[in-house]
Structure 1
Amino acid sequence: MDVVDKSVIKSGQGKGELIELSPLDVLTGHFSVRGVYVFKEPPNILRLKTMLAQSLTLYPEYSASMLREGNRFFLKLDDRGVGFSVYRSPQRWCDTPHLLPVTEDSPLIDNQLMPQDVFAGNEPLNAFRITLFDDGYWTLAVRNIHSQADGSAYCDFLQTWSALYCEKTPRAAVDFPRAFISSLAKGTGYKPSHKFRVFPALNFDLAERVYFQKQQQGYSQVSIAQTALKNLAQDCCTRVGTTLTTSDVMHALGWKAFALTSGKSNKEFCTLYTVFDLRHVQGLAIPRHYRGNAVIERHATMSFGELRTRDIDDIALFFRENTKPLNRAEIEADIAYLQREYDGGFVDDEYGRFSHFIRASVVDCLDGTGLFVNDMRFLKTPTIVFEGKPLWFETVIALGFNFMGIYRDNNDTLVIRYVGDKPTVLPFSTAITELLDGAELTDIVSAPLVTNPWR
């Protein structure tokens, strides 16, 4: 690929104010989140750059640097800028099907930042990489740091950028203090709620364990007609006599398929982990446009034997009853626990994460008894418009953990992506097709071998 442009875009503003991160920001860690949007109509590059700079005046946090002072973390609004690069490929997008799914060594994306790079300040935290193809298609690869903004917050920024590009008035940016998260902390903080599982600090090298796990993993994809899922959800609601969402049913499908193909004994317990956005919890008063991380893990546990024998509607109901609704008392206990760890300085020096505990999802996924599910349909992908709507959006496959992602394309088709041990990826996809009529197996790919444990 030829380099067309490589620069740093700044807003021209920045007085150096400090914004302290919340304990929820530290919980998710200072790791890079990367995704790729695919568009058909070619963009005006100069206008993209101009409107990106204007967007940063409304969202100065995304042009900031990150500081660590002792065991506390801050965003410094110093207008460090964001990376912006443009590459031109001699190939046609339609002739390069191997570029999807986007893996960690894809030529479409920028490298992720190591935690030490985040605080060194040698490179912008956020970066945008455009690849122009010979047939007019183009991709927009984004990179941000999760402790700076979760998926919903970052989508708000991208919406503003796209609105300005399209000569529309963006929604007014909301400046809501991160300190509000800390104000929710209630209680002693010695014990989180039962819905937030944590384990004591690990006695093994996590990086080495993840590196080994990556060598064993592959991924697969299944396409599902949205109508097939809606019909199944409606049937499940009728049978259990209560409301179930398509997300509940999709979690149940993945959970059951994972149990059917894992090879674990019936007596072992399998835990499904998912994330919930606190912006949608009644009574918390966190605005929808809150900047920062506002997601927290929840889980449900059932034996492999039960998962293999129980019906999808029973599993979906069990998932819903054990993870929802989020209530204020549970959230207050969880944040109090995290705040106590943060205030006590229990943060490791190397990676800036909590040192007294590790999220149970990490250990369970490494042990093969946990599945992490993320429903990407809740991201506002169709509203990010440059010349036209994106044809597709996906996050970069992060090998190392058992993971199922749920995506939706412009044709209202769902794509279910599974990451797991190579021998299980084909059986998992087959199980999904058997559990849900209307599913079509579209792709089975083995994960590439990697040499860098953090790529």
Structure 2
Amino acid sequence: MATACQEPPPLIQDLKVTVHDTSLVFPSGHIPREPFFLSNIDKVLNFDVQTIHFFPAHPEFHPDRVAEALRAALAKILVHYEFLSGRLKLDAATGRLEIDSNSEGVGFTVASSECCLDDIGDLVFPNPAFERLVTKSLDSLPPDNQPLCIIQVTSFACGGFAMGTSTNHATFDGLSFKMFLQNLAALAADKPLVVDPCNDRRLLAARSPPCVSFPHPELLKLDVPKGQDSSRPIVFNDASEDLDFKIFKLSPNDIACLKERAAKDASGPGSSYPKARVTSFNVVTAHIWRCKALSSCADIDDGSSKSRASTLLYAVDIRPRLEPPLPRGYAGNAVLTAYATATPGELEEWPLGRLVEMVTEGAGRMTDDYARSAIDWGEVNVGFPHGEVLVSSWWRLGFADVEYPWGRPRYSCPLVYHRKDIILLFPDMITAASQNGGDGVSVLVALPGPEMAKFQSLFHKLLAGDHH
């Protein structure tokens, strides 16, 4: 039934990458130098995110030509995204993180690998060696003067290539980054922008005075002494625990079965879960939440590990939920964290339809009022989202749908870091053989060994419908 979890394929250990050139690209036109306001959502996301886009060889676009086209397109696009060529700084008077739009440029690296694209193996399987395909910082610049975006083009021996990007999360969320890539691809093809970016982050400014009108159990308040730099949140406690990591694949058929089961729970005669929205994301997230909460319960339970609270977190795009909605081209972070809380005991007992209803309700809570309250919370407090597990979905962002002059990527993926409180969803490779079945999902889980064994067994047992 379920696609078994994937053991790592033999991963190539060394991509044999040589860096040939690293430089700065500057905007091709004038950008007024002024402080650029960051919203309370942007400012807690002051860390870098890396993505890699793999392309097969193209007869008209040798990787050198691709690098030239990208460099030229970057210089042009920086005029439209005036914040991107600036630098992060703290405003001394307010202590707020902002961007100095000083046009000091973004990074651009050209590299080559002795490998062929086909030597790398399964692109879906996160490979630590992919680190070499991304430039995370420029050695020529001091740590406090790093670009907000660095792009690396690495050519492979077969003529294929990878575009690795490192961007500070304060600049983009997944949706606005996809729009940035669509615009970059359009400029590289000498076409007009696909979407005009809206750079006004004040659309998500806190109200004055701030009004926190809801409880926010999804947010954890930090006690930061006044004057201490809180611009680098300790969002991620990188405990140096030994973690196993595995990929669990859900085929379109697996997802259809989960949906069918949840729909039966939700719409049966006298159903008590009328609010459940049975979507692929909701059923997969409910399934993962149950497995994660139960995998961390003690084997011999005195009842305490099943009666604690387990909080699930997941991102919700607030663009269409605000009144008025944000412009389609809003270029900053417009996602907030929705939550659902239950005890492992309840998660074990309840049918899937009830869990799907809880995930539905978490997103449904995200109204204009609630979103504004969460933003105002960030004005009054220093803190960040906090729960037992965050489901971070790259599944439907569609990075692989971006049409460059040299075609679409064969695959696009995040450069993965393993954290036991973050579970990543990302798309499966869409191959010609599975045109209709391209909507499966890969679930990346990192857990200590004993918990992983439990998670794996629960994942398959619950997928097969064996609830107890």
CA contact (8 A) 2:130 2:415 kept: no
Q: 1:162-241 to 2 correspondence within 5 Å?
A: 162-182=185-205, 185=207, 188-189=210-211, 192-194=214-216, 196-201=218-223, 210-211=237-238, 213-241=239-267
Deviation at 1:266, TM superposition (A): 1.3
CA contact (8 A) 1:186 1:332 kept: no
Change in 2 beyond 3 A, CA 1:191/1:197: farther
Deviation at 1:334, TM superposition (A): 1.6
3-state SS, counterpart of residue 393 of structure 1? strand
Residue 80 (structure 1) aligned with residue 104 (structure 2): yes
- State the partner residue of 1:262: 296
Give deviations 1:397-452, integer Å, cap 9, x for gaps.
Answer: 233441111111324131111122233334424433333359xxxxxxxxxxxxxx
Q: Tell me the amino acid that sits aligned with residue 393 of structure 1.
A: S
Question: 2:112 and 2:321 mapped to 1: Cα distance?
Answer: 44
Change in 2 beyond 3 A, CA 1:56/1:88: same
- State the partner residue of 1:435: 462
Question: 2:338 and 2:209 mapped to 1: Cα distance?
Answer: 20
Change in 2 beyond 3 A, CA 1:176/1:200: closer
- State the partner residue of 1:248: 282
Q: Tell me the amino acid that sits aligned with residue 28 of structure 2.
A: G
Give deviations 1:260-315, integer Å, cap 9, x for gaps.
Answer: 32234211221111111111315242123212111111211111112123222221
Question: 1:424 and 1:117 mapped to 2: Cα distance?
Answer: 41
Q: Which has the larger radius of gyration?
A: 2
- State the partner residue of 1:336: 376
Residue 375 (structure 1) aligned with residue 397 (structure 2): no
TM-score (norm. length: structure 2): 0.79
Change in 2 beyond 3 A, CA 1:49/1:112: closer
Residue 54 (structure 1) aligned with residue 73 (structure 2): no
- State the partner residue of 2:347: 307
Q: 1:30-429 to 2 correspondence within 5 Å?
A: 30-42=46-58, 43=63, 44-70=66-92, 71-97=95-121, 100-103=125-128, 106-111=131-136, 120-121=144-145, 123-182=146-205, 185=207, 188-189=210-211, 192-194=214-216, 196-201=218-223, 210-211=237-238, 213-241=239-267, 242=274, 243-264=277-298, 265-341=305-381, 354=382, 358-359=383-384, 361=386, 364=387, 370-386=388-404, 387-408=406-427, 409-411=429-431, 412=438, 413-429=440-456
Which structure shows the bigger proportion of residues in helix conformation? 1
Question: 1:129 and 1:247 mapped to 2: Cα distance?
Answer: 32
Change in 2 beyond 3 A, CA 1:5/1:82: same
Question: 2:174 and 2:185 mapped to 1: Cα distance?
Answer: 16
Question: 2:159 and 2:249 mapped to 1: Cα distance?
Answer: 26
Change in 2 beyond 3 A, CA 1:432/1:135: farther
Change in 2 beyond 3 A, CA 1:68/1:166: same
CA contact (8 A) 1:4 1:85 kept: yes
Q: Aligned residues: percent identity?
A: 20
3-state SS, counterpart of residue 432 of structure 1? helix
Q: Tell me the amino acid that sits aligned with residue 93 of structure 1.
A: L
Where structure 2 has 5 or more consecutive residues not aligned to the other structure, the ranges are 1-16, 226-232, 268-273, 299-304, 432-437
Give deviations 1:241-266, integer Å, cap 9, x for gaps.
Answer: 25321111111011011123223421
The alignment covers a number of residue pairs equal to 409
TM-score (norm. length: structure 1): 0.81
Deviation at 1:221, TM superposition (A): 0.3
Q: Tell me the amino acid that sits aligned with residue 35 of structure 1.
A: T
Where structure 1 has 5 or more consecutive residues not aligned to the other structure, the ranges are 342-353, 365-369, 439-455
Deviation at 1:195, TM superposition (A): 5.5
Q: Tell me the amino acid that sits aligned with residue 69 of structure 1.
A: D
Question: 1:139 and 1:174 mapped to 2: Cα distance?
Answer: 26
Deviates more, 1:70-79 or 1:191-200: 191-200
Q: 1:23 aligns with which of 37, 40, 59?
A: 40
Deviates more, 1:288-297 or 1:164-173: 164-173
CA contact (8 A) 2:291 2:459 kept: yes
Question: 2:409 and 2:294 mapped to 1: Cα distance?
Answer: 35
Deviation at 1:201, TM superposition (A): 2.8
Change in 2 beyond 3 A, CA 1:378/1:201: farther
Q: Tell me the amino acid that sits aligned with residue 416 of structure 2.
A: I
Q: Tell me the amino acid that sits aligned with residue 256 of structure 1.
A: R
Question: 1:186 and 1:31 mapped to 2: Cα distance?
Answer: 28
Deviation at 1:186, TM superposition (A): 7.0
Question: 1:104 and 1:132 mapped to 2: Cα distance?
Answer: 15
3-state SS, counterpart of residue 83 of structure 2? helix
